[in-house]
Structure 1
Amino acid sequence: MKQLFIHCAQNVTQSALLEDGKLTEFSVERTEGTSLIGNLYKGRVVNVLPGMQAAFVDIGLAKNAFLYVDDVLHPHLERQPKEKPAITELLKPGDELLVQIMKEPLGGKGARVTTHFSIPGRWLVYMPNADYIGISKKIELELERARLRSLAEAMRSEGEGVILRTNAEGENRESLEEDLNLLRSAWRNIVDRCKDASAPSELHRDSGLVERMVRDVITPDTEQLIIDDELSLHEAKAYLRQTAPALEGKVQLYDDPKPLFDKFGIKEQLDKAFQSRIWLPSGGYLVWEQTEALTVIDVNTGKYTGSIDLEETVFLTNKEAADEVARLLRLRDVGGIIIIDFIDMEIEDHRHQIVQQLEMRIKRDRTKCQVVGWTRLGLMEMTRKKARENAMNYFYETCASCKGKGKIYIR
Structure 2
Amino acid sequence: MKRMMVHCGPGSTEIALLENGKLVEYAAERSQHRGLVGSFIKGKVVNVIPGMQAAFVDIGQKKNAFLYIDDVLHPHLEKQPKQKPSIALLLKPGQELVVQVVKEAIGNKGARVTTHYSLPGRWIVYMPTSGYVAVSKKIGREEERYRLKMLGEELREEEEGLILRTVADEEDGEAIGDDLAQLRKQWAAILEKAKHAAAPVVLHQDLSMIQRLMRDVYSPETDELIMDCPEQAEEALAFLQAMLPGETPRVIVHEGATPLFDHYEVKPQLEKDFQRKIWLPGGGYLVWDTTEALTVIDVNTGKFTGGDSLEDTVFRTNLEAAQEMARLIRLRDTGGIIIVDFIDMDSDEHRSDVCERLEQAMSGDRTQHHILGWTKLGLLEMTRKRMREENTVIS
TM-score, with length taken from structure 2: 0.98
Where does 1:318-397 land on structure 2 (aligned, <5 Å)? 318-392=318-392, 395=394
Deviations, residues 12-37 of structure 1 (Å, cap 9, x unaligned): 11111111211111011111111110
Aligned residue identity for 2:141: L
Aligned residue identity for 1:91: L
Partner of 1:204: 204
Where does 1:14-25 land on structure 2 (aligned, <5 Å)? 14-25=14-25
Structure 1 residues 156 and 202: alpha-carbon distance in aligned structure 2, compared to 1, 3 A threshold: same
Partner of 1:308: 308
Partner of 2:265: 265
Q: Are the aligned partners of 2:307 and 2:316 in contact in 1 as well (CA < 8 Å)?
A: no
Q: 166-175 or 62-71, which moves further after superposition?
A: 166-175
3-state SS of the aligned residue for 2:303?
coil
Aligned residue identity for 1:282: G
Q: Are the aligned partners of 1:7 and 1:228 in contact in 2 as well (CA < 8 Å)?
A: yes
Can you give the 5+ residue segments of structure 1 that lack an aligned partner in the other structure?
A: 397-411
Where does 1:104-119 land on structure 2 (aligned, <5 Å)? 104-119=104-119
Partner of 1:407: none
Cα distance in 2 for residues equivalent to 1:130 and 1:155: 14
Partner of 2:91: 91
Structure 1 residues 378 and 221: alpha-carbon distance in aligned structure 2, compared to 1, 3 A threshold: farther
Partner of 2:239: 239
3-state SS of the aligned residue for 1:304?
coil
Where does 1:7-406 land on structure 2 (aligned, <5 Å)? 7-220=7-220, 222-245=222-245, 247-392=247-392, 395=394
Q: Are the aligned partners of 1:175 and 1:243 in contact in 2 as well (CA < 8 Å)?
A: no
CA RMSD, aligned part only?
1.2
Q: 38-47 or 224-233, which moves further after superposition?
A: 224-233
Q: Are the aligned partners of 2:220 and 2:250 in contact in 1 as well (CA < 8 Å)?
A: no
Cα distance in 2 for residues equivalent to 1:296 and 1:221: 39
3-state SS of the aligned residue for 1:249?
coil
Aligned residue identity for 1:237: L
Q: Which runs of 4+ in 1 moved over 3 A?
A: 245-248
Aligned residue identity for 2:64: N
Cα distance in 2 for residues equivalent to 1:34 and 1:303: 43
3-state SS of the aligned residue for 1:258?
coil
3-state SS of the aligned residue for 2:78?
helix
Equivalenced residues, count? 395
Deviation, structure 1 residue 246: 5.0
Cα distance in 2 for residues equivalent to 1:307 and 1:194: 64
Cα distance in 2 for residues equivalent to 1:114 and 1:96: 13
Deviation, structure 1 residue 247: 4.6
Deviation, structure 1 residue 353: 0.2
3-state SS of the aligned residue for 2:249?
helix
Cα distance in 2 for residues equivalent to 1:382 and 1:179: 34
Q: Are the aligned partners of 2:241 and 2:249 in contact in 1 as well (CA < 8 Å)?
A: no
Aligned residue identity for 1:61: Q
3-state SS of the aligned residue for 2:350?
helix
Cα distance in 2 for residues equivalent to 1:295 and 1:221: 37
Percentage of pairs with the same residue: 55
Cα distance in 2 for residues equivalent to 1:281 and 1:49: 52
Deviation, structure 1 residue 221: 5.7
3-state SS of the aligned residue for 1:55?
strand
Deviations, residues 107-140 of structure 1 (Å, cap 9, x unaligned): 0100000000001111111111011111111111
Q: Are the aligned partners of 2:28 and 2:394 in contact in 1 as well (CA < 8 Å)?
A: no
Q: Are the aligned partners of 1:167 and 1:219 in contact in 2 as well (CA < 8 Å)?
A: no
Deviation, structure 1 residue 256: 2.3
Cα distance in 1 for residues equivalent to 2:49 and 2:367: 30
Cα distance in 2 for residues equivalent to 1:103 and 1:49: 20
Cα distance in 1 for residues equivalent to 2:368 and 2:257: 38
Can you give the 5+ residue segments of structure 2 that lack an aligned partner in the other structure?
A: none
Cα distance in 2 for residues equivalent to 1:52 and 1:208: 34
Aligned residue identity for 2:324: E
Cα distance in 1 for residues equivalent to 2:261 and 2:354: 33
